[in-house]
Structures are given as structure tokens and as C-alpha cells.
């Protein structure tokens, strides 16, 4: 559980900016049909920071019901304070989530002892597996390989790490320090361009945002890497690199990600919550161009042509 390809699921909103559960059902079915190894809801791409506490809980409940055991489900429980993270983790466990994802506490930049106690407290508050989420770009805190080795050694309920870092060397150092302590500790890449390099170094897969747009592409990439089909993996990796151009087309990549899903036929509105901005109207043609370069738009057009025959 919690290895392979796990989309960091968006939270769909309707045109009024409210949570859209019909679109959520369509997204979940899209993932399941693509053969994903799990779903991660209410993380950064899920706009957890733009939702109220009540909305987070109600959406988590809805997603558990929609997924209904079709694949494994992680619920993000990140919060700036330990007490709130524990409350969200216990709620996720009570409603039937398979695990929780805990991002570094943000706002105060605390030291390693405080960080250790935070992750330990959340993981000890529940029985479902816990994954640590390292996201220095947004939290301002980069979890050191030494700290992660300590967490792996002293917190048996913490089973892995989502490492969303720009420096590939960080994930390699984590693998070198953690695996002697816990050989089963999972390390999953957060940024799309590091999925293949991290897996070749011994990592276990990915939890990433752009698998909302192209889950089959990332499922195939992870499977090729697992099976040592390196020529195929390299080809898919290059397509992933092309797809990543989408992230620069809106203020936060959230808007462009949702727009790309919409272009590909999913009933997902491009609406995001503030302070993020939706992708501008002129971005649609650019998104289409990126999808075409990544080999995604042609596949949809071929499907549409077949269905009309």
C-alpha cells in the first residue's frame, strides 16, 4: 500500500466556487480506470489551505464514500498546529481513510526536535499508516535526511515520505540514510520530473499533481521504471517533461491543471479558490499546445473520432 502512482487529487469547485461532488466522482472514476495505485486527497493540489476546517472534513467524508475501496485513499491532514493536525488525522481514520499525509507544520520555522515531536504526535494519534510530506518550497522547512531517519526508526506508524523537492540529491540522501533503519520505508517523488530519477535510485513511486491530467502516462512511467524497461521509461519521462510546461500558465499551477483536465474532457471547472487565480482565458490555446506536445490531446481526439463512427 502507498507505493506506485498516487495522484495528488484536485478538489473540484463549481462555477460558484463550492465543492463539486459530481465532478469529484468523475475524477475518481478517471483515476480508477487508469489503474492508479491510490489517491491522495486534500494535499496542496487539493487546495486544503483554501478550505475551511468543516469543508475539509466534509470533503474527506465524501471522497471516502466515492472511492469506496476501489483503491487506497490517503487524506491530507496538514495544519500549522499539532492539535489541528491530530484532529484531522483522527477524523480521517474514523471515516475510513486508509492513511494520512502530514505536511511539515508551516508559519513558524521550528527546529528538528519540534518537527520530530509534531510528526510523532500525529502518527501516534492514529492506527492507520502515516506518510510525512516534505515540501520546502511552500512550507519553508526542508526535512533533513537525518531527521527522516530518526522518524523512520522511532515512529513505526510512519511508513513513508512524499519528497517534493527540487534537488534530486535530497531524495537520494534520504534513501541512503533511511533504508538501513527501515528497509520498507517508502520514498515517493512529489515533483513530476523526479519520478523516474527517484525510482532509479530506489524510490517507490510518486504522489504528484499532473497525474490529475494524465494518470495513464504516470501509471505507465512508474510501471516501466519498476520493470526496468528503461527505454520505455525514458520516452515517457520526456513526455512528462513536456507536460510540465502547464504549471507556468496560471498563478499557482492549480488553475492550469484544472483547465487541462477540462480540455481533455473531464467535467472539471477551471475554478480555484483565492488567493490562487484561475488560468486566464488566453491560456486555453497554450494548454492545448502543451497537451498536444505531450501526446495527450491526439489520444482524446482519436477517441472522439472512434465514438462518432
Please report which confidence band the pLDDT of residue 299 belongs to, taking 50, 70 and 90 as the band edges: low
- Please tell me the predicted confidence (pLDDT) of residue 281: 86
- For the chain, which domains are there? 4-229 (3.20.20.70)
DSSP H or E run through 163: strand 158-163
Which one, of 102, 195, 180, 84, lies nearest residue 141 by Cα? 102
C-beta neighbour count of 282 within 10 angstroms? 8
The per-residue DSSP string of 220-272 comes to HHHHHHHTT-HHHHHHHHHHHHHHGGGGGSSSSTHHHHHHHHHHTT-------
Longest dimension (CA), the chain: 64
C-alpha 138/C-alpha 109 separation (Å) is 12
pLDDT single digits (tens) 213-266: 999 999 999 999 999 999 999 999 999 999 999 999 999 999 999 999 999 999
Looking at residue 301, what is its pLDDT?
A: 62
The pTM of the full predicted model, rounded to 2 decimals, is 0.95
Give percent of the chain above pLDDT 70: 96
Catalytic residue status for 133: yes
Catalytic pick from 40, 44, 72, 211? Answer: 44
pLDDT of res. 219: 98
**Across all residues in the chain, what is the average pLDDT?**
96
Q: Are 245 and 213 in contact (CB under 8 A)?
A: no
With bands split at pLDDT 50, 70 and 90, how would you rate the model's confidence at 303? low
Active-site residue, 107 included: yes
Candidate from 37-51, 122-136, 189-203, 289-303 with smallest mean pLDDT:
289-303
Helix axes 283-293, 297-307, angle to 10 degrees: 90
Instruction: State the catalytic residue, choosing from 133, 171, 250, 258.
Output: 133
Rg of the chain over Cα atoms, rounded to whole angstroms, equals 18
Cβ(102)–Cβ(93) under 8 Å? no
Active site residue 57: no
Residue 102 sits at φ, ψ, to 5 deg, of -115, 110
pLDDT tier at 304 (50, 70, 90 boundaries)? low
Active site residue 58: no
Residue 237, CB half-sphere, CA atoms under 13 Å: how many?
Answer: 20
What per-residue confidence (pLDDT) applies to 105?
97
Give kind and range of the element (H or E) at residue 131.
strand 130-134
pLDDT confidence of residue 117? 98
**Buried b / exposed e along 160-195 (16+ C-beta atoms within 10 A):** bbbbbbeebebbbbbbebbeeebeebbbbbbbbbbb
Q: Is the pLDDT of residue 308 over 60?
A: no
How confident is the model at residue 254, as a pLDDT? 98
* b/e 38-49 (16+ beta carbons within 10 angstroms → b): bbbbbbbbbbbb
CA distances to 6, 63, 84, 203, 209 from 22, rounded to whole Å, are: 21, 11, 28, 34, 20
Burial class (CB in 10 A: 0-12, 13-18, 19+), 274: exposed
> Which of the following is catalytic: 162, 206, 211, 250?
162
Amino acid at each position: 500500500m502507498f507505493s506506485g502512482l498516487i495522484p495528488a487529487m484536485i478538489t473540484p469547485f463549481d462555477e460558484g466556487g463550492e465543492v463539486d461532488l459530481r465532478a469529484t466522482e468523475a475524477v475518481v472514476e478517471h483515476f480508477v480506470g487508469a489503474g492508479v495505485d491510490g489517491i491522495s486527497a486534500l494535499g496542496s493540489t487539493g487546495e486544503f489551505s483554501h478550505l475551511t476546517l468543516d469543508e475539509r472534513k466534509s470533503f474527506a467524508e465524501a471522497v471516502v464514500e466515492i472511492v469506496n475501496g476501489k483503491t487506497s485513499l490517503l487524506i491530507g491532514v496538514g495544519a500549522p498546529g499539532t492539535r489541528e493536525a491530530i484532529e484531522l488525522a483522527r477524523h480521517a481514520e474514523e471515516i475510513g481513510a486508509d492513511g494520512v499525509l502530514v505536511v511539515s507544520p508551516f508559519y513558524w520555522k521550528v527546529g528538528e526536535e519540534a518537527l520530530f515531536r509534531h510528526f510523532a504526535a500525529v502518527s501516534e494519534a492514529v492506527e492507520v499508516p502515516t506518510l510525512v510530506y516534505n515540501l520546502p518550497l511552500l512550507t519553508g522547512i526542508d526535512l533533513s535526511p537525518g531527521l527522516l531517519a530518526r522518524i523512520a526508526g522511532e515512529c513505526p506508524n510512519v511508513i513513508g515520505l512524499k519528497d517534493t523537492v527540487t534537488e534530486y540529491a535530497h531524495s537520494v540522501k534520504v534513501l541512503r540514510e533511511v533504508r538501513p533503519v527501515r528497509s520498507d520505508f517508502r520514498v515517493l517523488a512529489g515533483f513530476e520530473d523526479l519520478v523516474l530519477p527517484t525510482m532509479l535510485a530506489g524510490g517507490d513511486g510518486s504522489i504528484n499533481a499532473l497525474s490529475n491530467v494524465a494518470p495513464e502516462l504516470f501509471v505507465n512511467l512508474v510501471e516501466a521504471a519498476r520493470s526496468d524497461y528503461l527505454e520505455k521509461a525514458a520516452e515517457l519521462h520526456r513526455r512528462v517533461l513536456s507536460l510540465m510546461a502547464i504549471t507556468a500558465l496560471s498563478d499557482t499551477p492549480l488553475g492550469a491543471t484544472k483547465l487541462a483536465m477540462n480540455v481533455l474532457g473531464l467535467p472539471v471547472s477551471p475554478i480555484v479558490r483565492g488567493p490562487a487565480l484561475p488560468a486566464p482565458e488566453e491560456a486555453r490555446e497554450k494548454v492545448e499546445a502543451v497537451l498536444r506536445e505531450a501526446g495527450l490531446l491526439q489520444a482524446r481526439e482519436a477517441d472522439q473520432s472512434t465514438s462518432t463512427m
